[in-house]
Amino acid sequence: MWLPDLSGLLLVAPPLLAAITFHELAHGWVAYRLGDPTAKAAGRLSLNPLRHLDPVGTLVLVLTQAIGWARPVPVNPNYFRHPRRDMMWVGLAGPGANLLLALALALIYQSLAPLLPRTGPGGYLRLMLTLGVQINVGLAVFNLLPVPPLDGSRVLAGVLPADLARSYLRYEFAGFALLVLLIFTGVVGKIIFPLIFGLSRLLLGG
């Protein structure tokens, strides 16, 4: 019987939970600042990871250790003064938060790395910080792909002509199916993994 690598999950869980929490919180906070109280009313402007986890998405992540998802923050564009433009900013907020968190973790890593041993607790901390940078860069890059329902589709819809944007967003379900296909055939990995590891190495100082 196959079981997930629990030691690996314990190492990855803290940076992954932080990445998901800041990503979803950023979506809700920017929407709130732009006039939409939906996320705040739903209790999603929170640093509590449990408010952002999706049970099915979390289970899939544990079992596959490759793909999973959080519970999307509810956003109602009817509250926005400029719905298309404001949805674009809401879409950018999640990946932007992940890039800022990656930068912060990289700065911590570069400050502590000369002081930490490569084995024992110091080694685990070094590895956890490294994973934190990679996870946050990965979430940012992946979510900026212009495939519905990813954040990149909201950004692209904000710059397309209105009629074309509406047609584009109608295919969200087809986009999800396409995304799953691209992930499991390895196409997405070939496109974004070199970018993720390249940016991570740059932030971590080589």
Q: What is the pLDDT of residue 61?
A: 65
| Average pLDDT score over residue span 19-41 | 96
- Amino acid 147 reads V
Please determine, for residue 65, whether its predicted confidence score (pLDDT) is greater than 90.
no
The band of 13, judged by pLDDT with boundaries at 50, 70 and 90, is confident
Q: Which of 15, 18, 20, 24 is catalytic?
A: 24
Average pLDDT over residues 44-55: 92
Inter-residue contact 139 to 95 (CB < 8 Å): yes
DSSP the chain: -----HHHHHHHHHHHHHHHHHHHHHHHHHHHHTT--HHHHTT-S-S-GGGTB-HHHHHHHHHHSS---BPPPP--GGG-SSHHHHHHHHHHHHHHHHHHHHHHHHHHHHHHGGGS-SSHHHHHHHHHHHHHHHHHHHHHHHHTSSSTTSHHHHHHHHHS-HHHHHHHHTTHHHHHHHHHHHHHTTHHHHHHHHHHHHHHHHHHT-
- In this prediction, residue 3 carries a pLDDT of 43
Which residue's entry shows tokens 């809700």?
28
What residues does each domain of the chain span? 6-204
Q: What percentage of the chain has pLDDT greater than the value 70?
A: 92
Predicted local distance difference test score (pLDDT) of residue 2: 40
Q: Quote the pLDDT of residue 173.
A: 74
Q: What is the pLDDT of residues 124-179, one digit of tens each?
A: 899 999 999 999 999 899 899 898 888 999 999 999 988 888 888 887 778 778 88
Residues 28-56, mean pLDDT to the nearest whole number: 94
Mean pLDDT value across residues 33-58: 92
Mean pLDDT of 195-204: 94
Is 24 an active-site residue? Answer: yes
Asked whether residue 189 carries a pLDDT value surpassing 90, the answer given is: no
**Residue 22: pLDDT above 70?**
yes
Q: How confident is the model at residue 88 (pLDDT cuts 50, 70, 90)?
A: very high
Q: How far apart are CA 25 and CA 75, in angstroms?
A: 12
